[in-house]
A and B are shown apart, each in its own frame.
Chain A
Amino acid sequence: MTEPPLLELKDITKRFPGVVANDGVDFDLRKGEVHALLGENGAGKSTLMNILYGLYHPDEGEIRLRGEPVRIDSPHAAIDAGIGMVHQHFMLIPVMSVAENIVLAMEPRTGPFLDHGKANERVKEISERFGLAVRPEAMIESISVGMQQRVEILKALYRGAEILILDEPTAVLTPQEALELFEIIRSLQAEGKSIIFITHKLGEVLEIADRITVLRRGKTIETVPREGATEEGLARLMVGREVLLQVEKKPAEPGEPLLTVEDLRVYDERGLEAVRGLSLEVRSGEIVGIAGVDGNGQTELVEAITGLRHIDSGRVVAAGTDITDKSARGSLEAGVGHIPEDRHRRGLVLDFTLAENMALKDYCEEPDSKWGWLFPKRIIARAAKLLEEFDVRGGGPQTPAASLSGGNQQKVVVAREVSRDPRILVAAQPTRGLDVGAIEFVHRRLVAERDEGRAILLISFELDEILSLSDRILVMYEGRVVGEYPPTVSEDELGIAMLGGRREAAA
């Protein structure tokens, strides 16, 4: 190689009190390539990119741009150097138009005023050049998340970015939107832009990246080309041990129906009908997956089954008990376990200790208490046993739940729900925000519970998860089940059904 790489990060070290976030990290980016930065949560990806974008200053190491050492000490300097970043959480002003957001801070003016015409024109110009269709006049708050992401990318391009950092860009997108994003990335690449793609999703990396750099615990593990890379190999590099990506499971042996939902109608907070005459059945020993885009009534369905939301009409029967419109306690006493979609909001009392959280559903029963009197020692002893059994790390029974990592918090939730020995387990987004190792744990546990003869209803926005775990797949669209598929169905077919593309009679 005669020409130096476009960008080089050499031996970057960044320490925070008590921790080395980046420990001699090397990274380089060639012109016109898509380079994925892969690693688990907390591996140091974001720290490295924040250094590159001027938000942090490295303690050691240097940054070279086209072979020349540069100093990037603010996002402003990064923008001047042609580096643009699209954050995971968008930095857009909702009440302003697309064009206004894009030209913000570098507005074309007539006198002291923003020249709207010129702004719209410029935005149109770059959006056409890179194939990112947007309506410049649309308000940010009225466009979809995928569109907002395009606006963020356009904002970076408008400011002259040659290097584009995308931080977990698909985390907020539907599968279809993700595919569109990949198209956009390819067209940017064709225009000569260089892209750093941060992610912890293996499939995406193999789909879009030219080269892949894996970080683990703040260190560069390896940089590999896409050719020859496999999901298993990358997962091993990320986690540092063998990871079973494909859940091993025997064929299901469904028994009697345990959860029956008939013609369910439920309203959401705004008083709109969110679940509109939905029926389904889950048998013992099977996992029924509900696929669907977020906001099609999944949350309301789960809350109705678990007694957290008023049921307008219809019927829910759990293990022979009619729990239609019963309280949450009625639902859990009928044998419904619930891994909630938001472990911070519902699943855990973060200020409680792990032991207290483990007791959240049993505190009022023996052996945790008798006649209203708690026995903390018993609660702690039981929690200690469960923490060990479920391999929860980062704290003991007396540790506040807030101080655990997301993966371990989720294990606490799973441990509590499974240890209650429910007949039915409703698992809503059970692996949201978890990294590969923790996902593996949760998946294996769910399959093990299925094999124990529980009926499992799995709700997930991750198609991979639905496809690999479910024995039957129901697609939910606008509050109804619009189709049933075997787990051998293709992702494309599911994706189309999820967008309401095809309607079949519900099974």
Chain B
Amino acid sequence: MSEAAPPPPPPPEPPLASSPEGSVSGLQTFYDRAGGLLVPIAAALLAFVIGGIVVLITEKSLSAPFEAYQAIFQGTGLGWFIPGGDTAEEARDLQQTLLITTPLILTGIAVAFAFRCGMFNIGGQGQYWVGLLTAIWFGTHFDGMPPVVHVTLALVAGIFAGAVWGGIAGLLKATTGAHEVISTIMLNWIAIWVGKWLLEAPDGFLQGTDPSLPRSDNIFDSAKLPAIWGALQPLHAGIFIALFALIVYHLLLNRTTLGYEVRAVGFNPDAAAYGGISVKRNYFLALAIAGAFAGLAGAIDMVGWKYRLTSTEFDANFYGFTGIAVALLGRNKALGILFAGLLFGSLIVGTSPRQLDPEVFNPELATNLATMIQALIIAFVGAEFLILYLWRARRKVGIGPKRAAPEQG
């Protein structure tokens, strides 16, 4: 440590521990801990406030933001948890919210796992698509298979496909040093265009029986996940798989040697290499495992409720990208990803025009509001240092007397 650095506070007792790091980073640990919850919550609140201001300006009414948020909340079905609501309608909305939350949790894990290895996986979207496309093929073949076997096969195939897609980026990084941000973005586009080609091209590999439609066949009933709640578009058992995946994620990261290596590489590749850990191997494995989670998300969506794919959906489905926001807001923690997934799932469902009374809330504004809030949350979580700084400044003002800014010597 530089002796010119500011306050060198000697800890009271041990004569050997008299270097400045002691209590300074003790303070830092506190901020980090506070920041663990403070930043995501502050970011989400701030995003909602700014979203509210936008509503206020466009609707030119003071009560509009409150009405809008109330309408969104109603649309999410979260009121089902509050005693005494219209349970039938709220149950139906909540089913949809959880239906969307399921893939978001999984794509969130896909981003978070790579994060913990020090990489930014932008490829969740592409990995989601290859998982989904693979599940279509397995779901539309093997007629007559026992249901449990068939659906498991489709899911495992989706996991595997996602792992390959993520693994390609990992392999490129490990062998040539190609940056994962670039390669995963490229792989997204490859997945999207290959997917379109499979559905749209004459005699496309996945094209359904009606060649005039860019659409796959329905998967067989034996390849569908069982419904667990609701009737029309019911919640399926995939939500349990997603919750189980959160547990797997947590244990894999914290209780296995693989997770230890991944975290060591993510925090400090030099020290990891010094400890005998192969950094390259972990880059590859981390992206492959991340891809597996995103691939599972796609496969679950296919066997859980979509059952077939129309090529126009490539331009409308962004669950893979939303996973980035989920991981950021959830701070790469299993519990955080659960709640962040639920928040974004609620936003998407709550603002979907189908749920809203156009008298209360202009439908165009509604969907855009969801995207906007999502973007603001990402921006604010990214700007965590700004929020921490404001937080600290507030504390400083409270303390009072003018304090010389600690200047770095």
Q: Can you show 17 pairs from A to B with CB atoms below 8 A apart?
A: A19-B10, A43-B8, A47-B8, A57-B404, A88-B2, A88-B3, A89-B2, A308-B274, A328-B275, A332-B276, A348-B271, A360-B275, A363-B275, A403-B22, A404-B22, A405-B18, A408-B16
- Chain B 16-42 interface residues, beta-carbon cutoff 8 Å to A: 16-23, 25-29
Residue of A nearest to B7 (CB): A16
- Chain B 259-318 interface residues, beta-carbon cutoff 8 Å to A: 259-261, 263-264, 267-268, 270-278
Number of chain A residues close to chain B: CB under 8 A: 74
Say if the beta carbon of B202 comes within 8 Å of chain A: no
Complex interface: chain B residues within 8 A of A299 (CB): none
- Chain A 363-389 interface residues, beta-carbon cutoff 8 Å to B: 363-364, 369, 372-374, 376
Residue of B nearest to A399 (CB): B29
Say if the beta carbon of A349 comes within 8 Å of chain B: yes
Say if the beta carbon of B58 comes within 8 Å of chain A: no
Task: Using known A-B contacts A47-B8, A55-B407, A88-B2, determine if residue A374 contacts B17 with beta carbons closer than 8 Å.
Answer: no
Say if the beta carbon of A45 comes within 8 Å of chain B: yes
Task: Using known A-B contacts A44-B10, A88-B3, A332-B276, determine if residue A349 contacts B271 with beta carbons closer than 8 Å.
Answer: yes
Say if the beta carbon of B85 comes within 8 Å of chain A: no
Complex interface: chain A residues within 8 A of B29 (CB): 400, 403
Give Cα distance in the complex from A340 to B6, angstroms. 27
Determine how close the nearest CB of chain B comes to the CB of A95; give it in whole angstroms: 21
Q: Which 7 A-B pairs have the closest CB atoms?
A: A19-B9, A405-B19, A329-B276, A16-B7, A360-B275, A393-B14, A42-B18
Say if the beta carbon of B15 comes within 8 Å of chain A: yes
Say if the beta carbon of A361 comes within 8 Å of chain B: yes
B257 touches A374 (CB 8 A): yes
A88 touches B4 (CB 8 A): yes
Task: Using known A-B contacts A240-B15, A393-B14, A404-B22, determine if residue A42 contacts B274 with beta carbons closer than 8 Å.
Answer: no
Complex interface: chain A residues within 8 A of B261 (CB): 363
- Chain B 156-191 interface residues, beta-carbon cutoff 8 Å to A: none
Number of chain B residues close to chain A: CB under 8 A: 51
Determine how close the nearest CB of chain B comes to the CB of A41; give it in whole angstroms: 5
Give Cα distance in the complex from A382 to B407, angstroms. 41
Summarize A's interface: helix, strand, loop or mixed.
Answer: loop
Give Cα distance in the complex from A44 to B19, angstroms. 10
Complex interface: chain A residues within 8 A of B149 (CB): none
Complex interface: chain B residues within 8 A of A42 (CB): 8-10, 18-20, 22
A352 touches B264 (CB 8 A): yes
Taken residue by residue from 24 to 45, chain A's Cβ proximity to chain B (1 for < 8 Å, 0 otherwise) reads as: 0000000000000000111111
Complex interface: chain A residues within 8 A of B267 (CB): 349-352
Say if the beta carbon of A46 comes within 8 Å of chain B: yes
A50 touches B6 (CB 8 A): yes
Give Cα distance in the complex from A262 to B220, angstroms. 68
Say if the beta carbon of A422 comes within 8 Å of chain B: no
Say if the beta carbon of B256 comes within 8 Å of chain A: yes
Give Cα distance in the complex from A345 to B258, angstroms. 22
Say if the beta carbon of A356 comes within 8 Å of chain B: yes
Residue from B6, B27, B256, B271 in contact with A374 in the complex, judged by beta carbons closer than 8 Å: B256
Complex interface: chain B residues within 8 A of A338 (CB): 274
A345 touches B6 (CB 8 A): no
Q: Most chain-B CB neighbours within 10 Å: which of A17, A348, A361, A373? A: A17
B25 touches A403 (CB 8 A): yes
- Chain A 1-33 interface residues, beta-carbon cutoff 8 Å to B: 16-21
Determine how close the nearest CB of chain B comes to the CB of A446; give it in whole angstroms: 17
Give Cα distance in the complex from A358 to B274, angstroms. 13
Give Cα distance in the complex from A305 to B63, angstroms. 72
A374 touches B23 (CB 8 A): no
Give Cα distance in the complex from A422 to B112, angstroms. 37
